[in-house]
Every structure is written in C-alpha cells, then in structure tokens.
Amino acid sequence: MGASHTESLNLPSKACPSERQIFPPSPPDTDREYTDSVSEPSDTETQTLSFCGNPSTWKPPPYPLPPGPRSDNTILTEDLKTPDNHVVRDPRLIRLTGIHPFNVEAPLSSLYDEGFLTTKDLHYVRNHGAVPNVKDPEIMDWNFTIEGMVDNPIRMSLAQLLQEYEQVTYPVTLVCAGNRRKEQNVVRKTKGFSWGAAGLSTALWTGVPISDLIRASMPRRGARYVCFEGADKLPNGYYGTSIKLNWAMDAERGVMLAHKMNGETLPPDHGKPLRVVIPGQIGGRSVKWLKRIIITKGPSDNWYHIYDNRVLPTMIDPEMSADLPETWKDERYAIYDLNTNSATCYPAHNEEFLLDGSEHTYKIRGYAYAGGGKRITRAEITLDKGKTWMLANISYPEDLYRLAPEGETLFGGRIDISWRESSFCWCFWDLDVPISRLQASEDIMVRAMDEAMMAQPRDMYWSVLGMMNNPWFRVVIHKEGHKLRFEHPTQPALIPGGWMERVKKAGGNLSNGYWGEQLAGEADAVKPIEPAKEICMVNNTLNRIITLEEFKSHDGETEPWFVVNGEVYDGTGFLEGHPGGPTSITGAAGQDASEEFLAIHSENAKAMLVDYHIGTLDKISQALLADSEAAPAEDTAPRGVFLHHKTWTKAILSAKTSVSPDTKIFTFDLEHAKQAVGLPVGQHLTIRLRDPVTREAILRAYTPISSTGAKGKLDVLIKVYRDTPTQKGGRMTQALDSLPLGHFVDFKGPHGKFEYVGRGLCTVSGRERKVQRFVMVCGGSGITPIFAVLRAVLADREDPTLCVVLDGNRTEEDILCRAELDAMLAGNEHRYCLNYVLSQPSLSWTGGRGRVDKNLIAKEVGPRTSTGGGDMVLVCGPKPLEESVLSIFTDMGWGKDDMLFF
C-alpha cells in the first residue's frame, strides 16, 4: 500500500509531530485492564484499556493515546445569549460565522502541535444551527430508528446498542469539505464561509460498525442508499444526507455509529450522544445527533443533501446556480470521498527566522490526507515554483494501531485493524532544507500524491460552494534585513493577512496562473484598492459608562436607546425626522443595532450618530448583547401575525416567478397557512440575508405586492441588478436571486412613517391627514409602494380619493405590474388616471414618450386642488427621478409637507 510500514515506524517521534508521545506512565495493576490516566472518565462509565500481558513484563502500547483535554474550559461569554448556552468550549477556537451557529477551527500551529490525535478542545466544529441539549441522565435513553426499505424495522436505545453489539475503536481524521475555502473566497466569493487550513482533526472513535445494524434490519431488494437524519432542527428541516448502501456494508470503509470520542462520551458539539462516523469521506456525511437511518432506493431528498457539499462545474456562478434545481440534484456533483490535499504548518504564518548563523537548516513540516481509504504515498516540496522538486519524509502514526495485539480493546472497543488495508487518517511530512536555499527562494510549495497517483493540482478549481480546494499550498518567503518572514496564503474567517489578500489589494490577478504576480502588459490594467474611509460616530469628549440595567430601562417608544459597536445612542430626538419612520428607531430600542444600522445606512447617516451619542455600554453588557440571533424555543407557538418590528422572523423561499428579463416575484411561505403578514398599507418591511463569505448582514427595505388580507404567503416584486463589466450589481438582489428554493430569509417590520388608513385618511409620522387626491410618481420597481396604496384606494368603492399615476420606464418590458394597473381602470375611470411614459419606446408604442418632466406633470396633474392638504405626492423610484420630481413640484409651489418619498 504505497509507503512501507518501515518508513512509517522507524521514526516513532513523528507519530506526534509535536515530538511527544503520550503513553501510560506505569504498568497496570491487573493483567487485563487499567484506568486510562490520559483523559478523564466519562459521565457514564470508566474508560478502560484492555491488553494482553503480565504486569511484570508490561510495556506501553505501540500506538498514540489521546492527549489530555483542558480542564479549565467553560461556557463562554459569547454563547450565553445563544441556544448553545449549555456547551463548554475552548476560547482558542476561531469562530468562522460570527457568534452563532458555532463553526470553528483551531489555529493551525496549535492543531499541528497537539499531534496525531486532536483533543475535543481543538477539534474543528461544523454546526448548521443550535446544538441539541442532551442531559447526561438522558444519554442511555437516546433512541434512533432504522426504517425504510427494510423487512425488520428497528427502534433502539443507546443502552441497547452498547449491550447488544460489539464495539470497535479506531482513529479517523474528519475533514470539512470547505477546508482551505478562504483561498477560493479571496479569488472570487463563493456561497460558503471562510475556512482556513485547519478544517480537519483526528480522534479515536468508539462505536458499532453500521453494517451489523443494517444487516439486522434486513434491507429489501432494490435498496441502494442509506440516509441519515440528525436531531438538529434547522430552518430547512432536520440536517440529513446519505451514502451508498454498499459503502455502508463494506467493512473496509469502516462506517460506524460512534458514542465515544477519545474515550469520553461524545461532546455536545460532536454529536452527543450518537453520531455517524464515515472515514475517508467529507465531514458533512458524518451526521451528528443521529435519530433516523432510512434505507432507500435513491439518494436523500433532504434539503441539506441537495444544496450543500457539492462541487458544481466551475462555470456556474452564484447567480446562475439559483435557477438550476436539476443541477443541484445531480448526484454526479455530490461530494463523498475526500480529495488529496496537504498544507504547510511550519513555517507558520508570519513566523520569523533570524539569519544569525546558529542554524544551517530549517525543518519544513505539514500534514497531508487522501480520501476513500487511499494512502498518501509522497509529499513533494518545491522552492522554484515547480521547476524542481524534493521528496519529503512521511510518517503514518495510524500504522501504529495495526501493531495492537490480537483481541486488544481500547475504551471498550476492539482495535484490531491489522487486516484493514484502508487508511483513515492524516499523515505528516517534513523536510530539512538548507537556510541558504530558503534565502535564495521566493516561496515554498507542497503537493501530495495518493496511491492512485492522484496529485494535487497546481491551480485552483473554483466552484460556487468553494468545496474541496486543494491546489499546491504556497508559503511566501520575505527577506527583511537579517531575518526571513514567512506568509501563508490566507488566514481563516475575517482575520486579515496572507499573500493572497495582499496581492489582490494591490490589484493583482490571482487567477492568472502565476499566483497573482504581475505579467507583461498588466502594469497599467490594475489599480490598488483604496482603503475604506473611517467615519467617526462617537463624541470623544464623553466618558460615561452605561450599565445594562440602565440601558434596558430605555427599551420603549418614548426614549429609545440603542447600541452600535458598543456605544449607546439616544434616538429620542430623531423619532420624528427619521425617514423610515419612528418604528425604525423604536424597533431597535434596548438592542444591539450594530448589524442593522451599519448594513443599511449611508456615510452621512453614520456621521450624524455623533449628535445622539450618550456613552459607552460596559464590557460585560456588550458581550451579553452581542448575539442578536438567539433562536426562539422550538415549542414557541407561531404568532397570528408574521411581522414583528423588534424580532426577525423566518420565512421559506418557495417560488420565483419571472415577470420581466430582470424582475421576479419572490414568494415566501410564512410560519403557517393562516398567518397574516401584518403590514399596514403604505409601509414596508426589511429583508435580511447574510453574505455567504463574510457573514455580514445584507438588509434592504421592500414593499410586498401581496394583498392586504393575504395569509400564509408573502409576494415581493424585486428587480435584480446584476454585475456588469463596468459596475457592481445589487448585493441583496443578486443574493436573493442566487438563493435556492427552500431556503429561509429573515424579515422584520413594519416600518415607515406613512400609512393609508382608508377613504382619504392617512397618517404621516403618527399625525392624521385627509387627502383628496394622490399624485403617484414612480419608476421601475418603485411601483410597489405606489401599487399598495392605489390598490387599497380603488378596492373600496366608497373611497372618494382620486389617484393620478405617472409611471416612467425605459422600455415597455420594464413596466411592472402592468396587467394589474390596467385592470384597475375598469369602473374607476372617474377617480383613477394612469400614464405610462417610456424614455426608449419602440416604434409601435402609442403611450407617452420621454420622461416624467415638468410639462407632463403640469398637463396631467395641474394645480393643487386645495391649500388645506388636499393633495399629496407619493414618489418612489431611482434617485435621479426622485430628485427631478422634488425640483419640479417645488418650483410649482408645492411644499415639503405635500410630498412623501418612500
């Protein structure tokens, strides 16, 4: 199997790359069993290691045992206000998706230093939502089912699983399919968040071979897949996926139901109390908190199986992927076996090496892994960009477990894997390189090859989800005076640093095949990215510290206080003047509004905050407020009204209907079929999505076109602004368009200072006003708030209010809601005047030509009908249209109180 056992075993110190082995310090008291001194006993039973031999001739086992976990970990402050407030975690872990859900990796050097086996403290975690809270007394009663195409359905508790089936223990390296994704995101944003190079870990797993259980369930003829479903309730259902049945039944593949990790009960983040472990495949197939095993004819139809863990063809971008449901379902693009990969751990990022002559060589070190049970057979290093290569040493600590005596057990599970040819774990490589060669080189690159002669590619294969990134791993060497400084490609999450980020900011082309180095003729084509302008939002003369109790006492509508970046602001003085209406401020009262405020406000608005700054929230209170994403309890009854102006509520995207080449109606399913939207006429709601890479919130305000009395569903008409060669498109509209059906979206509202009550009565900033005529001017998708008010007026036959609509567009295709607008004319000619104006009309167009200008307004609107507030102008459209309308009506003598801009 590739490299010989001799190569792997003749350097025992390499079994743990940190040059330490952890073995029991003394022989046991009996000839069969001793309590493992390396890790603490689990809550349910004592951990034991069984072996053959006499105590007088006892020798340490030939294989590594787990390093001891930290004893001082606790529930972290960041998690106190999240659904994970019961989970103990290590503060060294790097959070990749904000506070919650918990997706983390260890610092790369710390992970490597732990050695072959990773403690539960630094093992990477991939959670899609909240961690199920399983109490210790409930562990043995945890049950799961085997169902589907079986003649003997099984329902079994964990206690029965332990009593009735033989246990096995062996090491397995789990790897997230997104490992090294940050590199793809720097080249071009994918739909996934930014893993660094530490999205992998190795542990000893104890459990039952799944083949024993499936065999007992007696699968029927025609069954081909095994589906798994966990207990983690998510917006799109429970997390689930599948693998092929013959893989699950193949002992060489080692698929197990695990209940221990490194000899302890599974930690909550790793599936407590039961999970699937599938060696050699991506971590996303190893379902945690296992509840159901379903034998089926076809692959899983679970949302997360279809829309996650896939490598779509590289030419499919996020925009295209939204309209390719059959492509997502194509099993050819599903990821199962890992691909060959490697990374350099030392030299570490920003590590410095002094050129003082005391060292003549440097030991370059790193890891490598392959998938599907294949073995890494070589690791090669180049110092001249691939012109020549050097063969590195490889150590396979996994082989040490093959030397266990027959019948030996570890943590209650048999560890006899000497018969197995498959390799389930990572290996380590190293190479001593003369310092003189490093001084003469620009970079260090590594590539690995497996026993099928599959080598890592030179260049990146970019894909829409950013999975399986495995090009050569490049570390840049900087010569700085009397030292060398090393620079990795990226740093995980939003941590700045890495040569890829540096090159991109300088205008380099990372996809040019030369790692962004400037080629001939490129000098004039690229420009460095300008740094973002800093805006001061605080009064630096203040030194007032505000407690959480004082802050929370101002969470009402009269004196609303809110927090942005830890600073407290009093919005009382801006309630009346806020263009989004007072609810935009009162909805944030008593809350950390950083995310919402920064995502939706302009630089001018941010600068205005200085005038409302009153102090700083104390540090402890800031931590408690930090997570605004705490999910409601699962048993919370759905509300009768969907929208809430202080709470984000989720709805599921269920349909996209094209109404023009660039406009669609997005339909969302509410929490239940009888739920009312709860949006007053003339007001709007806010939609929130998250940037898949940065996890930053994207917020925009929209007015739905759903009827006022609609229940169970919400329709939003949205024009999609796409990227062009000359300018960026809309972040929100493109993100929505890229969203697959079945995904959730957050909503909050209602907002706005205008509401149409009916029969000419409306309110503006809470003050009533009687209107005799609405002059409605709109363009493009600005029709939506106009349409809502117009529909409410004309739906009431007793409403005497007159309406004049001026709808300006470029072409006839751009007129939105045209059929509905035209249909409203029937029977309403005496109170409804509709005018379409096109700036780029076709020859056959018989309507208005040009733009909504002074001549058109003078002709169709005429003078104000009264001086007592009888007329009101409602405007919504592109900024140039709004500015033009404001100027025209002002010149015609209309006052600011007569005009409302949505």
Regarding whether 142 and 241 lie in a shared domain, the answer is yes
Q: Within a domain: residue 230? A: yes
Is 835 an annotated catalytic residue?
no
Is 176 an annotated catalytic residue?
yes
Backbone angles phi, psi at 350, to 5 degrees: 65, 15
Regarding whether 575 and 461 lie in a shared domain, the answer is no
CA distance 149 to 153: 9
Q: Which residues pair with 395 in a beta bridge?
A: 428
Concatenate the DSSP letters of all residues of 650-692 into one string.
EEEEEEEEEEETTEEEEEEE-SSTT-B----TT-EEEEEEE-T
Active-site residue identified among 36, 121, 176, 737: 176
Low-confidence residues of the chain: pLDDT under 50? 1-53, 524-526, 529, 627-635
135: domain CATH number is 3.90.420.10
Regarding whether 802 and 722 lie in a shared domain, the answer is no
Q: Find out whether 876 is annotated in a ligand binding site.
A: no
Regarding whether 462 and 411 lie in a shared domain, the answer is yes
Q: Which residues pair with 365 in a beta bridge?
A: 346, 430
Give the containing element (helix H, strand E) for 746.
Answer: strand 744-751
**This prediction's pTM:** 0.74
Please, where are the H alpha helices in 394-448?
Answer: 435-439
Please, where are the H alpha helices in 401-538?
Answer: 435-439, 499-505
Per-residue confidence (pLDDT) for residue 522, from 0 to 100: 53
**DSSP β-ladder status, 143-148 and 290-296:** parallel
Per-residue confidence (pLDDT) for residue 303, from 0 to 100: 92
* Tokens standing for residue 759: 């029969």
Q: Within a domain: residue 170? A: yes
CB 804 within 8 A of CB 859: no
Nearest 10 degrees: CA dihedral of 131, 133, 134, 136? 120
Per-residue confidence (pLDDT) for residue 66, from 0 to 100: 94
746: domain CATH number is 2.40.30.10
CB 320 within 8 A of CB 263: no
Total H helices, total E strands in the chain: 21, 46
Active-site residue identified among 36, 269, 308, 737: 308
User: Counting beta carbons within 10 angstroms of the beta carbon of residue 861, is it exposed (0 to 12), middle (13 to 18) or buried (19 or more)?
Assistant: buried
3-state helix, strand, coil in the chain (%, to 5): 20, 30, 50
E-strand ranges in 94-199 read 94-95, 103-105, 125-126, 143-148, 154-157, 168-175
Per-residue confidence (pLDDT) for residue 606, from 0 to 100: 80
Q: Within a domain: residue 636? A: no
Regarding whether 576 and 493 lie in a shared domain, the answer is no
CA distance 243 to 284: 11
The identity of residue 607, as a single letter, is A
For the stretch 28-66, pLDDT in tens is 333 333 333 333 333 333 334 444 445 555 577 889 999
Positive or negative CA dihedral for 515, 521, 527, 528?
positive
Burial 791-814 (b: 16+ CB within 10 A, else e): bbbbeeeebebbbbbbbbbeebeb
Regarding whether 429 and 560 lie in a shared domain, the answer is no
CB 752 within 8 A of CB 581: yes
Regarding whether 183 and 162 lie in a shared domain, the answer is yes
Q: Within a domain: residue 331? A: no
CA distance 545 to 37: 49
Per-residue confidence (pLDDT) for residue 27, from 0 to 100: 37
Regarding whether 871 and 726 lie in a shared domain, the answer is no
Per-residue confidence (pLDDT) for residue 48, from 0 to 100: 40
What is the side-by-side strand order in the sheet with 649-660? 697-702, 684-690, 744-751, 649-660, 663-669, 713-719
Backbone angles phi, psi at 732, to 5 degrees: -70, -50
Expressed in angstroms, the distance from the first to the final Cα of the chain is 69
In a 3-state reduction of DSSP, which class is residue 837?
A: strand
Per-residue confidence (pLDDT) for residue 694, from 0 to 100: 58
Regarding whether 211 and 103 lie in a shared domain, the answer is yes
Is 308 an annotated catalytic residue?
yes
* Tokens standing for residue 514: 């030369």
The identity of residue 158, as a single letter, is L
CB 599 within 8 A of CB 771: no
Q: Within a domain: residue 78? A: no
Domain final residue pick, 720, 751, 782: 751
452, 407, 474, 529: which is closest to 33 by C-alpha? 407
Report how many domains make up the chain.
Answer: 5
Regarding whether 348 and 218 lie in a shared domain, the answer is no
Domain final residue pick, 444, 476, 505: 505
780: domain CATH number is 3.40.50.80
Q: Within a domain: residue 323? A: no
CA distance 254 to 233: 28
The identity of residue 142, as a single letter, is W
How many percent of the chain have pLDDT more than 90?
63
For the stretch 519-555, pLDDT in tens is 555 554 445 545 556 678 888 888 899 888 888 888 8
CB 99 within 8 A of CB 629: yes
How far from 671 is each of 655, 677, 745, CA to CA, in Å? 16, 10, 12
Regarding whether 800 and 741 lie in a shared domain, the answer is no
The identity of residue 727, as a single letter, is Q
Regarding whether 841 and 782 lie in a shared domain, the answer is yes
**Domain of residue 701, residue span:** 649-751
Q: Within a domain: residue 59? A: no
Radius of gyration for the alpha carbons in the chain, expressed in angstroms and rounded: 32
Q: Within a domain: residue 643? A: no
Concatenate the DSSP letters of all residues of 360-371 into one string.
SEEEEEEEEE-S
What residues contact residue 333 under an 8 Å CB cut-off, 6+ apart? 310, 311, 312, 313, 327
Domain final residue pick, 593, 625, 657: 625
Per-residue confidence (pLDDT) for residue 693, from 0 to 100: 52
CA distance 562 to 576: 16
CB 799 within 8 A of CB 793: yes
406: domain CATH number is 2.60.40.650
What residues contact residue 763 under an 8 Å CB cut-off, 6+ apart? 754, 755, 757, 769
Per-residue confidence (pLDDT) for residue 521, from 0 to 100: 55
Per-residue confidence (pLDDT) for residue 31, from 0 to 100: 31
The separation between CA 666 and the C-alpha centre of its own chain, rounded to angstroms, equals: 22
CA distance 467 to 810: 41
Per-residue confidence (pLDDT) for residue 112, from 0 to 100: 98
DSSP 119: P
CA distance 542 to 524: 48
For the stretch 796-815, pLDDT in tens is 999 999 999 999 999 999 99
